[in-house]
Chains A and B, each alone.
Chain A
Amino acid sequence: MNVPAKKRFGPLLLIAPAALLIGVFLVLPYLNIVLMSFRMPGQGTPYGPGFTFGNYGKFFSDFFYISQVINTLWIGFLTTFICLVLGYPVAWQLARGASAFRAVGYALVLSPLLVGIVIRSYGWTILLGNNGIINRTLTGWGIIDGPLPLMYNALGIIIALVHVFLPFMILPIMSAIQGIDPSLEAAARSLGASKVTSFRRITLPLSLPGIQAGCILVFVLSLSAYVTPSLIGGLRVKTMAVTVVDALIDTFQWPFGSALALMLSVTGAIIVVIFGRLTVMKWKA
């Protein structure tokens, strides 16, 4: 087709600003952070001249950092698992429950997402702190003598992370269940399958793509969460994201901080890929 040049390139002007923004301020910075992780540490400057593998060497030779990655992954696993167990029934209810209930429930699941992450984490410090509602109330009623350790530990971080990311588990599972034809379940029931069997053999396998999407989303989000672990964990329990940000903000170790951030991201990505493969295999089987 013979189109005048002006008409062919005109539409490209529409996408140009967005392409420029994402190319220059997203793609280049991500390439730059890979480069940064191989730079020499600087003296009094964020980074020095020349390149090295030393930042990765420092990571692998210090068990402190490796154990912290393992801790972060562990917190991520638990958060994801608890979100799945807590969220699945709610997702089912939102997809298949009575319609009056559904609209309200949907709004209730979405509304926490409109409140900033700092505020939601702060809410948990009010609830869980040593002087928090739970501890003061229980002490006041004489049920416990001293405050229960609910904050400044992995338990508190996991509780708050589950709260923050639960909607991201519920919503994909909900849309997966909505996509299942209800007559499939009805058919299974009419052929004599019990409620449990019909759920186990029909609904659950067909909602696997939603489970997969939700799990990946929650896992990735909890690995990279900064605000919640920082406020709830305090100085005592640090996740990798907190260590990385502190290494960058407080001590200006840019190359090493980049290496740490990339190690965590790569480990997370590998786990997500393995998980994806495993669930797809299971799903096809």
Chain B
Amino acid sequence: MSKPFFTVYCLIIYAFLLAPIAVVVIASFNAGAFLTFPPQGLSFRWYVVFFNNEVFMRAIRTSLWIAALTMVISGIIGTMAAMFYVTHAGKLKETVRVAMLAPLLLPEVLTAISLLFFVYSVGLGTQNLVGMIVGHVLITLPFVFINVSASMESYDPAWSLAAQSLGAGRFTRFRRIMLPLIKPGVIGGCLFAFIISFDVFTISFMLKGVGMSTLPIQLFDYLRTNFTPEAAAVSTCSIMLTMAVVIVSEKVLGLRIHRF
């Protein structure tokens, strides 16, 4: 294949990848109810409709709360597991890795269904947030694990040993040796857990209680019956939030988030 042809081909694929997302953003600023090309004019009316829609605003608040809680729990559990994986796992290393990545490798819809049955079988139900939070922590755990263990790749147990021989206790060793090393991984993993939790649909859909909804669920319900660009305004705000988190972590904090 000739080189210019090849470049053009790749550009077309990139355009294909971005098209539906770009279209959502453009539609949210469109004055009319339907998007045509070229657009009919610039307007913020759908944002006004969205900000005055208490149902969507409540869903956003719920999503943010769940994402924050998930981030903290998943961050702590995932970091501890990654520390074990790198320093103590020994022969179990491969087993630990597969188990920690399992939620990522199993089909989300099956995980969601089996978790729903399980919380009912043990009498937990879906009227409290426990099932939902557990599901979100499960789904986000691999990302924290991947990021933290990647940041520990250069870790040498001898450093900790040296500190110990100089009289540092367990907690001091963690705070002075381990934590500075894994901090970028922990922050990156937590931020990514936040994004995943904020965006996840199937798990929330199966485990939500009656009358409760997160932003993706509310959007999905809305889209089954409505097609107005209000959904585009909601989506654009959600995209902006995600992008803000990524840009802050990569540009301001200088982190490189591992997604796989």
Binding site for B on A (CB under 8 A): 11-12, 14-15, 17-19, 21-22, 25-26, 28-30, 32-33, 36, 46, 86-87, 89-90, 93, 97, 101, 105, 108-127, 129, 131-133, 136-137, 140, 160, 163, 166-167, 171, 220-221, 223-227, 231, 241, 244-245, 248-249, 254, 257-258, 261, 265
Contacts and interface: CB of A to CB of B under 8 A. Distances in A.
Interface string B1-28: 1000011011001101111111110010
A91 B200 CA distance: 27
Contacts, number: 227
A273 to B, nearest CB: 15
A116 B238 contact: yes
B240 to A, nearest CB: 11
Across the A-B interface, give the 7 residue pairs with the lowest CB-CB distance, nearest first: A123-B20, A224-B107, A116-B199, A29-B114, A29-B118, A11-B88, A18-B81
A29 B238 contact: no
B155 interface: no
Contacts of B238: 116, 119
12 contacts: A21-B141, A26-B102, A30-B114, A36-B117, A105-B10, A113-B259, A119-B216, A119-B219, A120-B21, A123-B20, A123-B23, A137-B37
A246 B80 CA distance: 38
A30 B134 CA distance: 15
A163 B220 contact: no
B6 to A, nearest CB: 7
A28 B109 contact: no
A119 B49 CA distance: 18
Give the interface SS of chain B, mostly helix, strand, loop or mixed.
Answer: helix
B243 to A, nearest CB: 7
Given A18-B77, A26-B102, A248-B113, A133 B37 contact: yes
B219 A163 contact: no
B202 interface: yes
B69 interface: no
Given A89-B9, A126-B24, A254-B117, A108 B227 contact: no
Contacts of B96: 15
B201 A231 contact: no
Contacts of B24: 119, 122-123, 126
